[in-house]
Amino acid sequence: MSPRFTDLVAHLPASVPFVGPETQERARGRRFRARIGANENGFGPSPLAIEAMRRAAADIWKYADPENHELREAIAARHGVRLDNVVVGEGIDGLLGLAVRLVVAPGTKVVTSLGAYPTFNFHVAGFGGDLVRVPYAHDREDWRGLLDAARQCGAALIYLANPDNPMGTWWPAADIEAMAAAVPERALVCLDEAYVDFMDASLEPRIDIESSRVIRFRTFSKAFGMAGARIGYALGPAGVMREFEKIRNHYGVNLVAQAGALASLGDAGHLPRIRSAVAAARDRIGAIVGTHGLAVLPSATNFVAVDTGRDGAFARRLLDGLLARDVFVRMPGVAPLDRTIRIGCGLDSELDVPAAELPAALDAACQT
């Protein structure tokens, strides 16, 4: 006899939003030579963060402060908000799960873009929500279309990533501010800003967090280079953030991650350094693929969508060719986004690998 799983869980497909590179390496029996497929930041964390984490390791016998107080104070100061506008959690992925749980019951309508970040969809499915997907417009998430769809179906939640994954495209601050001002009554927007730290802070949307119906999600995984630490935060109206307290995993954030995140925020030179390294790597990726007649989409992130100019089947063959040649990259799952493959920024030594392997992978893709 099987245990009494809920109907919801019993009927969920056993899906994983992203199969990790380690899983692929185990299946191949070989390591990748370039790990540039998961939008990690190979330039690494701030040296101050590494030092703080080293010191914190000796205190790992302690539970971390469940209120993340010191870190929340630093985050609140960074964004000019109050302490009760900030929730710290196990990366954006963990926080998105909580946001979904706050408002989604079986049958609740949720709006996102067709081909947008799948981990959000995974959480919605996990709580029985009913996803409505709006097509991208010119390779950008269509914020007006998302709002229209939300009004029509009475959505409780709307998801938008700005800048976007998987395309790397973005909306200027004025558009996001216009979106925030037009959120349908009783709906909430999840504004996923995982990549916003790669942009200059002056380009960020200005949203009065207390009077909006927007939750902004930030992470230490991307520009701060701490993906393995699993730490991020949400900013939102105090009344919404208070509800997170009822359901969050109070001891879920680890002590080392807290120390690293706090030290990162104290290193004023880190983000400018990372932004210029990432911009140079984006240019290099453009040059590598440009030599072979491929174009790149404009990107405000630490990855570049390379437009194969062909269909999804061709892009898949190219991706497989690169994987077979030890280059870990990924591609979007649905048309028309799946004409692209996504190449992440990395150290020069890593980008040397696709530079060397792309010609053979392209030849193989063309011949099949």
Ligand X SMILES: Cc1ncc(COP(=O)(O)O)c(C=O)c1O
Dist. CA 72–CA 84, nearest whole Å: 9
Per CB under 6 A, 169 contacts ligand X: no
Per CB under 6 A, 221 contacts ligand X: yes
Cβ neighbours of residue 302 under 8 Å, at least 6 residues apart?
39, 41, 195, 198, 222, 223, 278, 281, 282, 344, 345
Cβ neighbours of residue 206 under 8 Å, at least 6 residues apart?
173, 177
Q: Which residue is nearest to ligand X (CB)?
A: 91
Query: Would you say 166 and 141 are in contact if contact means Cβ atoms under 8 Å apart?
Result: no
Q: In what order do the strands lie in the sheet with 232-235?
A: 86-89, 232-235, 214-219, 188-192, 157-161, 109-113, 130-134
Which of the 8 DSSP states describes residue 258? H
* Beta pairing partners, 303: 344
- Please identify which residue in 76, 227, 297, 347 interacts with ligand X, judged by CB under 6 A: 227
**Contacts with ligand X, 78-117, as mask; x by CB under 6 A:** -------------xxx-----------------------x
Residue 140, judged by CB atoms within 10 A of its CB (0-12, 13-18, 19+), counts as: middle
- Please identify which residue in 165, 212, 258, 302 interacts with ligand X, judged by CB under 6 A: 165
- Find the shortest distance in angstroms from Cβ 89 to ligand X: 9
Per CB under 6 A, 118 contacts ligand X: no
- Find the shortest distance in angstroms from Cβ 291 to ligand X: 28
Judged by CB, which is closer to ligand X: 321, or 346?
A: 346
Cβ neighbours of residue 63 under 8 Å, at least 6 residues apart?
251, 255
Judged by CB, which is closer to ligand X: 190, or 365?
A: 190
Dist. CA 236–CA 254, nearest whole Å: 23
- Please identify which residue in 219, 299, 302, 308 interacts with ligand X, judged by CB under 6 A: 219
- Find the shortest distance in angstroms from Cβ 39 to ligand X: 4
Which of the 8 DSSP states describes residue 77? H
- Please identify which residue in 64, 87, 146, 161 interacts with ligand X, judged by CB under 6 A: 161
Per CB under 6 A, 355 contacts ligand X: no
- Find the shortest distance in angstroms from Cβ 366 to ligand X: 30
**Contacts with ligand X, 297-316, as mask; x by CB under 6 A:** --------------------
> Quick one: which segment of 1-9, 128-136, 172-180, 219-227 binds ligand X (CB under 6 A)?
219-227
Nearest to 297 by CA among 337, 250, 270: 337
CA distances from 165 to 63, 290, 359 (A): 34, 22, 26
Judged by CB, which is closer to ligand X: 231, or 355?
A: 231
> How many chain residues touch ligand X (CB under 6 A)?
13
Judged by CB, which is closer to ligand X: 32, or 233?
A: 233
- Find the shortest distance in angstroms from Cβ 18 to ligand X: 8
Dist. CA 165–CA 90, nearest whole Å: 19
- Find the shortest distance in angstroms from Cβ 170 to ligand X: 12
Judged by CB, which is closer to ligand X: 97, or 321?
A: 97
Per CB under 6 A, 162 contacts ligand X: no
**Contacts with ligand X, 173-192, as mask; x by CB under 6 A:** -------------------x
Cβ neighbours of residue 91 under 8 Å, at least 6 residues apart?
219, 221, 227, 230, 231, 232
Per CB under 6 A, 232 contacts ligand X: yes
Dist. CA 191–CA 93, nearest whole Å: 13
Per CB under 6 A, 39 contacts ligand X: yes
Residues that bind ligand X (CB under 6 A): 39, 91-93, 117, 161, 165, 192, 194, 219, 221, 227, 232
